[in-house]
Amino acid sequence: MKQYEFEVTSDDSSRERLDVFLSAQQTEISRSRLKKLITEGLVTVNGSNRPAGYKVRLGDRITIQVPALVTLDASPEPIPLDIIFEDEHLIAVDKPAGMVIHPAPGHSSGTLVNALLHHCKDLAGIGGVERPGIVHRLDKDTSGLIIVAKSEPAHKTLVEQFKERKIYKEYLAIVKGNVKKDKDSIHDSIGRHKKHRKKMDIRALNGREAYTEYQVIHRSEIWSYVRLMPKTGRTHQIRVHMASIHHPVIGDNLYGGKSTHHQMERQALHAHRLQLKHPVTGLNLSFFSPLPSDMTTFLQSNGYNP
């Protein structure tokens, strides 16, 4: 158990939320993790528990108890990685379709985390969880760009950039049907499906805000090639939103994209571009992943050359 102690010594800091104050005092613990520690009773103010929204006061003495890191149930594996960018703080990887991000029941090896633990020798423990350095995710059958933190300060800052919607994300997808509007946006909230636990649903009672913009690049009578810019990061967001307007991603069997007319072995969804600020230097970074061969082949065989 690691312990941190702080005192509110400035009038400028008084009346700030507890989680905001603590986030500004150190670089090792993200604000989201601080909230979890507060909820678990591991943060005290003058010896007493307070909620994350407590307004700190001049003279308050605050203690944080940080539990030991969760044991990582994953082993390093020499799996090849397509690295787009890497420095001491972060790594950008072009993930192939079919690769799972982190170990889970049914996928105990061969994951991105297994590969990263071999490539980055000191990655274990970043973020204090069993998914070291992971700040966002892609579904198994979605290809493209993913960013991983290699240091605790980078992890904290990247998590906050994603949460505050400061990272530009652009996806490419091939969807069923002729999407009539050249561009539009979808604002339906997303939550867990009440019956099918592997699915998400816009009609869920516990839905959270979700917002996706899209533009049609090319259309035919039976499929459309679209660019999508999700502004939030809900589970299956693009897949659910496109299915909700009756244009599911081709190859997405879970949300209605299966069809004998379309030859795709997986969902035709690719994380194409990411733009963000470097979590330590503040420099603007822009990463690009070209359309993978299976999606390119589909488009070319149907008369469009991307």
Question: What's the rounded Cα separation, in Å, for the pair 146 and 134?
Answer: 9
Residue after which a domain boundary falls, among 120, 146, 164? 164
pLDDT at 69 over 60: no
| Predicted local distance difference test score (pLDDT) of residue 195 | 79
* 204-213, 252-261, 287-296: segment of lowest average pLDDT: 252-261
Q: Is residue 35 part of a domain?
A: yes
Same domain? For 150 and 211 the reply is: no
- Angle, helix 152-163 to helix 31-39, in steps of 10 degrees: 90
What is the CATH number for 51? 3.10.290.10
Average pLDDT score over residue span 207-232: 96
Does 82 qualify as catalytic in the annotation?
Answer: no
Could you tell me the pLDDT band of residue 25, with boundaries at 50, 70 and 90? confident
Could you tell me the pLDDT band of residue 130, with boundaries at 50, 70 and 90? low
Q: Is residue 83 part of a domain?
A: yes
| Predicted local distance difference test score (pLDDT) of residue 250 | 95
CB-based contact 258:229 (threshold 8 Å): no
Average pLDDT score over residue span 127-134: 69
Q: How far is Cα of residue 222 from the mean position of the Cα atoms in its chain? A: 31
Same domain? For 159 and 93 the reply is: yes
Q: How far is Cα of residue 36 from the mean position of the Cα atoms in its chain? A: 18
Q: Is 91 helix (H, G, I), strand (E, B) or coil?
A: strand
- The helix (run of H) or strand (run of E) holding residue 2 is strand 2-7
Q: Is residue 277 part of a domain?
A: no
pLDDT at 102 over 90: no
Q: Is residue 119 part of a domain?
A: yes
Same domain? For 265 and 192 the reply is: yes
| Predicted local distance difference test score (pLDDT) of residue 144 | 98
Active-site entry in 60, 94, 139, 141: 139
Radius of gyration of the chain (CA): 22
- Angle, helix 31-39 to helix 18-25, in steps of 10 degrees: 130
Same domain? For 15 and 95 the reply is: no
* 17-31, 33-47, 150-164, 202-216: segment of lowest average pLDDT: 17-31
Same domain? For 80 and 150 the reply is: yes
* CB-count burial class (<10 Å; 0-12, 13-18, 19+) for 209: exposed
Residue after which a domain boundary falls, among 164, 186, 221? 164
Residue after which a domain boundary falls, among 44, 66, 88? 66
| Predicted local distance difference test score (pLDDT) of residue 220 | 93
Count: domains in the chain:
3
Q: Is residue 153 part of a domain?
A: yes
Q: Is residue 276 part of a domain?
A: no
What is the CATH number for 116? 3.30.2350.10
Could you tell me the pLDDT band of residue 124, with boundaries at 50, 70 and 90? low
Question: What's the rounded Cα separation, in Å, for the pair 119 and 102?
Answer: 15
Average pLDDT score over residue span 143-170: 93
| Predicted local distance difference test score (pLDDT) of residue 125 | 64
Q: Is residue 51 part of a domain?
A: yes
pLDDT at 282 over 90: yes
Q: Is 75 helix (H, G, I), strand (E, B) or coil?
A: coil
Same domain? For 180 and 111 the reply is: no
H-only helix segments in 120-206: 152-163
| Predicted local distance difference test score (pLDDT) of residue 301 | 92
Task: Tell me the average pLDDT of the chain.
Answer: 90
* 86-95, 104-113, 197-206: segment of lowest average pLDDT: 104-113
pLDDT at 146 over 80: yes
* 31-40, 179-188, 213-222, 233-242: segment of lowest average pLDDT: 31-40
CB-based contact 143:271 (threshold 8 Å): yes
Same domain? For 28 and 75 the reply is: no
Same domain? For 6 and 37 the reply is: yes
Q: Given CA atoms 64, 8, 35, 132 in this order, what sign does their dihedral have? A: negative
The whole domain housing 83 covers: 69-164
pTM score: 0.77
Could you tell me the pLDDT band of residue 54, with boundaries at 50, 70 and 90? very high
pLDDT at 272 over 80: yes
Q: Is residue 306 part of a domain?
A: no
Average pLDDT score over residue span 214-233: 96
Could you tell me the pLDDT band of residue 33, with boundaries at 50, 70 and 90? confident
Count of CB atoms within 10 A of residue 139's CB? 19
Could you tell me the pLDDT band of residue 109, with boundaries at 50, 70 and 90? confident
